[in-house]
Amino acid sequence: MSRTWSELLGEPEEPAEAEEERRGFFSRLRESLGKSRRALVGELAAAAFDPGDDGAWERLEEALIAGDVGVCATAELVRRLEARVKILDLGEALAEEIAVLMDQQVTFDLSGRPSVILVVGVNGTGKTTTIGKLARVLHQHGRSVLVAAADTYRAAAEEQLQIWAERARADFVGGEKGGDPAAVAFDAIEAAMARGREIVIVDTAGRLHTQTNLMEELIKVRRVIAAKLEGAPHETLLVIDATTGQNGLQQARLFTEAVGVTGVVLTKLDGSAKGGVAVAIAYELGLPVKLIGLGEQLDDLRPFDPGDFAQALVRG
Amino acid sequence: MFDSLSDRLQGVLGDLRKRGTLDEEAISRAMREIRLALLEADVNFAVVKDFVAQVRERAHGQDVLKSLTPGQQVVKIVHEELTALMGAGASGLAFAGRAPTVILLAGLQGSGKTTAAAKLALFLRKEKRKAFLIAADLQRPAAIDQLEQLGEQIQIPVYTRRDSSDPVAVARAGIEECVRQGCDVAIVDTAGRLHVDEEMMAQLAAVKDAVKPHNVLLVLDAMTGQEAVTVAEAFADRVDFDGVVMTKLDGDARGGAALSVKAVTGKPIKFVSVGEKLDQLELFHPERMASRILGMGDVLSLIERAEQAVAVDEQAEMEERMLRGQFSFEDFLRTYKMMRKMGSLKGLLGMIPGLGSQLKDAEVDEKQLARVEAVVLSMTLEERRRPGTIDGKRRLRIAKGSGTTVQQVNQVLEMRRQMERMLKQMNTGKGPRLPGAGGTARPARRSSSARRKRRRR
């Protein structure tokens, strides 16, 4: 069940090392999610759960809603729990059901030469920071990385990415401010091919999924990438802030329609937000979470593990 | 995916005429719908509970029981209660008797503080104040560059110190510089921080102590979920903010966080940010926010945007022609261009009450609009004014001229006809009907009365 970077990247690994990485990470995730005053079922679990008590079910619903799981996914989880003959431990049962809802075969396609990872999302979710950390991890795993600043809109976005690129020891390709982001992506892939870099990560400007013109621009970026290199982009990651409520569903829906998102990166899980909207996204759209962000440090980006996530969400 | 609350309540309470009385069970079902609507809008669940209890009490009142449209009555109550709750204690910025007035911005990472700082500066300049920006976010890479570039765009001075890592010292020095340059409002941008990060929260409190702000504003993303309450409480505890700047309201987030924060901390929303452009910061209107949370559309904003997009005399002229039932292709194209100026078609239509819920099925093809323009521009003036003259031969010519097909030209002709019909219906106070969406939209009442109000001015 455990997911480590090596596993996600399809590398052979030392089991002991992986176990250590996993344990350390699990306790941190737990610690992070536990910062919230209310553990999801903390209060519920204290008293024995009585399936005959309507109030108990209502409190359970409230706990899930409070975690931003949303009305639909909450109803589904409650339905699944109700279908169980006997519930010995409510927290355990709930965690199991959440893990089932979220458990999808997660792959990370780096088969291309180079592989292109396109990173998209609304404003302020942490795209640039995520890219910095991802570039660093990939570098640590021996991959050569080039990052492309196709956010030509936001003031100083390029400078921000450049600083991250230096920290991660990745190559950097920028563009003119106000220039065509598709051209930056094109140049970046060309540069990566010429220099023999293995992975290109393309940063894009934050845009609300409702802004038609900006979404058109993003579609063009994707089209140019696909035309430049067959099979690209190999991964299209949607970055979602864990603090986001039910609007996260709309984000996932519309970005997927526009550019075919392959996975979600759930950031800022180091706050008290539990990121329950990811459960809703997985349930309603079948879109897997691939990575999670736990803080501002370079190694705070991790592969997503549904079992760990569900435990942390439920147990606090 | 969101049915508007009024549609759902009508479903639950609408058959009252058959039954004759509004029983406890019907009210309970209605309250459940309200609860779900608010939860889907990200209002905190505890706030929802209190709020629904309050509404339930009023729903037992005579005005609901006697009403033939109890659904509408209950929506009205919910809307009134929301407006009252969010509007209570609202006030603008506080200004110091002796300059400079200091505004401190705080919030989570990515909530939009830096952009909000620049927008606020521009807003203040329109109020004839001299704003001054201080870049005290020393955490995020290139945050200083960002504020500097924004300041340059709007010609507002920005204080930066690249050699320092102490935001307290930078903020203090910035205010001295603000005084030296003769500016009267200093806006301090700070680093984004998590409310659970003890060290960073202490630092923020230290900045506050050092600069003694007249206004502390919490910058909050409209998309924030249930955690809005926890975040707001933590910031209220440490820096006792005075009000909220709600950002990213140009998206489709329902913004229930606005209600949660007000209910829990008692702090009012002061400003809302409604677009990427730096002049898109507005004062908060509780009534509009209530409509938005309920998915009832936002007619007032729609009208305001339309007014900005169309010259006044042009409006009157167009309205007059429409009343006479003449809707030429020139009007059609003007309407179309106006829509382009105002934003996406789907977003616009969503603002019309009663249309929001129909729209989920109606596909709005944005690309089609570009084709439409080409088709209309390929018509002669005569054809544009008298669409009846466009026969088969002319259609072929128009298709060739615009690089489209005859079928597409036909589509445009049909679109004009439908739009004309729709506008006539709006003018007669019947709800508009979207092709393919089924059913006439009911509550056009608000829209037409709002329009009438405008017309009288």
Q: Where do the structural domains in chain A lie, given as residue ranges?
A: 115-304
The verdict on residue B243 lying in a domain is: yes
Pick the residue with more confidence: B213 or B445? Answer: B213
Pick the residue with more confidence: B325 or B359? Answer: B325
Residues B308 and B401 in one domain: yes
Which ranges of B127-279 would DSSP assign to H, the alpha helix?
A: 143-154, 167-180, 198-211, 228-239, 257-265
Question: Confidence class of residue B434 from pLDDT cuts 50, 70 and 90?
Answer: very low
Do the chains contact at A208 and B248, CB–CB below 8 Å?
Answer: yes
Residue B340 pLDDT > 80, yes or no? no
Do the chains contact at A210 and B231, CB–CB below 8 Å?
Answer: no
Residue keyed to tokens 């097909």:
B405
Interface test with B, best of A43, A136, A246, A267 (most B CBs within 10 A): A246
> For position A199, what pLDDT does the model report?
97
| Distance separating alpha carbons of residues A265 and A137, to the nearest angstrom | 15
Cα nearest neighbour of B350 on chain A:
A210
Lowest average pLDDT, out of A232-236, A258-262, B333-337, B371-375, goes to: B333-337
Do the chains contact at B250 and A208, CB–CB below 8 Å?
Answer: yes
- Contact criterion met (CB below 8 Å) for A92 and A304: no
Residue B1 pLDDT > 50, yes or no? no
> For position A15, what pLDDT does the model report?
55
Do the chains contact at B226 and A67, CB–CB below 8 Å?
Answer: yes
Residues B285 and B350 in one domain: no
> For position B433, what pLDDT does the model report?
38
The verdict on residue B94 lying in a domain is: no
Question: Confidence class of residue B415 from pLDDT cuts 50, 70 and 90?
Answer: confident
Of A124, A156, A271, the CB nearest to B142: A156
Which of these three, B293, B327, B360, is where a domain ends?
B293
Average pLDDT estimate for B75-82 = 85
Of B139, B223, B344, the CB nearest to A244: B223
- Contact criterion met (CB below 8 Å) for A90 and A41: yes
User: What tens digit of pLDDT does each residue of A157-182 get?
Assistant: 888 899 999 999 999 999 888 889 99
> For position B329, what pLDDT does the model report?
82
> For position A103, what pLDDT does the model report?
81
**Chain A partners within 8 Å of B140 (Cβ):** 160
> For position B296, what pLDDT does the model report?
66
Residue A32 pLDDT > 60, yes or no? no
Task: Among A201-210, B67-76, B275-284, name the most confident range.
Answer: A201-210
The verdict on residue B282 lying in a domain is: yes
Average pLDDT estimate for B185-196 = 95
The verdict on residue B92 lying in a domain is: no
- The per-residue b/e assignment along B294-313, b for 16 or more CB within 10 angstroms, e otherwise, is bbbbbbbbbbebbeebbeee
3-state secondary structure A11-79: CCCCHHHHHHHHHHHHHHHHHHHCCCCCCCCHHHHHCCCCCCCHHHHHHHHHHHHHCCCCHHHHHHHHH
Residues B68 and B119 in one domain: no
Cα nearest neighbour of B341 on chain A:
A213
Of B110, B139, B346, the CB nearest to A241: B110
- Number of structural domains (chain B) is 3
CA dihedral B404, B407, B412, B413 (to 10 degrees): 130
Residues B349 and B434 in one domain: yes
Write the DSSP string, B248-288: -TTSS---THHHHHHHHH-PPEEEEE-SSSTT-EEE--HHH
Do the chains contact at A243 and B224, CB–CB below 8 Å?
Answer: yes
Could you give the ipTM of this predicted complex? 0.83
Residue A108 pLDDT > 70, yes or no? yes
- The pair phi, psi for residue B249, each rounded to 5°, is -80, 0
**Chain B partners within 8 Å of A157 (Cβ):** 142, 146
Q: How far is A14 from chain B (nearest CA, A)?
A: 35
| Distance separating alpha carbons of residues B398 and B417, to the nearest angstrom | 18
Residue B335 pLDDT > 80, yes or no? no
Whether the pTM exceeds 0.80: the reply is: no
Which of these three, B57, B87, B117, is where a domain ends?
B87
Question: Confidence class of residue B270 from pLDDT cuts 50, 70 and 90?
Answer: very high
Contacts across the A-B interface (CB distance below 8 Å): 150
Average pLDDT estimate for B149-163 = 95
Residue B54 pLDDT > 50, yes or no? yes
Do the chains contact at A273 and B140, CB–CB below 8 Å?
Answer: no
Residue B426 pLDDT > 80, yes or no? no
Question: Confidence class of residue B448 from pLDDT cuts 50, 70 and 90?
Answer: very low
Question: Confidence class of residue B252 from pLDDT cuts 50, 70 and 90?
Answer: confident
Cα nearest neighbour of A164 on chain B:
B141
> For position B449, what pLDDT does the model report?
38
Residue B304 pLDDT > 60, yes or no? no
Judged by a CB distance cut-off of 8 A, whether residue B28 touches chain A is no
Q: How far is A122 from chain B (nearest CA, A)?
A: 9
Neighbours of B430 (CB within 10 A): 15
Interface test with B, best of A62, A158, A213, A247 (most B CBs within 10 A): A247
Question: Confidence class of residue A251 from pLDDT cuts 50, 70 and 90?
Answer: very high
Interface test with A, best of B105, B113, B147, B194 (most A CBs within 10 A): B194
The verdict on residue B95 lying in a domain is: no
Do the chains contact at B39 and A65, CB–CB below 8 Å?
Answer: yes
Residues 6+ apart with CB under 8 A from A283: A72, A73, A76, A101, A102
The pair of structure tokens assigned to B176 is 């001295």
Expressed as residue numbers, the domain containing B306 is 299-456
Residues B208 and B325 in one domain: no
Residues B306 and B287 in one domain: no
Residues B205 and B335 in one domain: no
> For position B10, what pLDDT does the model report?
66
Residue A104 pLDDT > 90, yes or no? no
Q: What is the CA radius of gyration of chain A?
A: 20
User: What tens digit of pLDDT does each residue of A190-240 get?
Assistant: 999 999 999 999 999 999 998 888 999 999 999 999 999 999 999 999 999
> For position B151, what pLDDT does the model report?
96
Do the chains contact at B45 and A65, CB–CB below 8 Å?
Answer: yes
- Contact criterion met (CB below 8 Å) for B189 and B105: yes
**Chain B partners within 8 Å of A244 (Cβ):** 221, 223-225
> For position B344, what pLDDT does the model report?
55
Q: How far is A40 from chain B (nearest CA, A)?
A: 13
Average pLDDT estimate for B92-111 = 93
- Which CATH class, in words, describes the domain spanning A115-304? alpha beta
Cα nearest neighbour of A33 on chain B:
B196
Q: Give the closest residue to A155 by CA, choosing from B109, B123, B114.
A: B114
Interface test with A, best of B1, B38, B49, B109 (most A CBs within 10 A): B109
Which of these three, B61, B87, B113, is where a domain ends?
B87
Average pLDDT estimate for B270-275 = 91
Do the chains contact at B145 and A272, CB–CB below 8 Å?
Answer: no
Question: Confidence class of residue A10 from pLDDT cuts 50, 70 and 90?
Answer: confident
Question: Confidence class of residue B100 from pLDDT cuts 50, 70 and 90?
Answer: very high
User: What tens digit of pLDDT does each residue of A271-294 get?
Assistant: 888 899 999 999 999 999 999 998
**Chain A partners within 8 Å of B347 (Cβ):** 210, 212
Residue B210: give its domain's CATH number.
3.40.50.300
Mean per-residue pLDDT over chain A, rounded: 86
Question: Confidence class of residue B346 from pLDDT cuts 50, 70 and 90?
Answer: low
Question: Confidence class of residue B254 from pLDDT cuts 50, 70 and 90?
Answer: confident
Q: Give the closest residue to B294 by CA, choosing from B267, B255, B250.
A: B255
Judged by a CB distance cut-off of 8 A, whether residue B157 touches chain A is no
Do the chains contact at A124 and B149, CB–CB below 8 Å?
Answer: no
Residue B442 pLDDT > 60, yes or no? no
Mean per-residue pLDDT over chain B, rounded: 80
Question: Confidence class of residue B454 from pLDDT cuts 50, 70 and 90?
Answer: very low
The verdict on residue B208 lying in a domain is: yes
User: What tens digit of pLDDT does each residue of A58-93 get?
Assistant: 878 888 888 899 999 999 999 999 888 777 788 888
Average pLDDT estimate for B404-431 = 73
Residues B143 and B223 in one domain: yes
Average pLDDT estimate for B14-34 = 71
> For position B367, what pLDDT does the model report?
63
**Chain A partners within 8 Å of B252 (Cβ):** 208-210, 247, 250
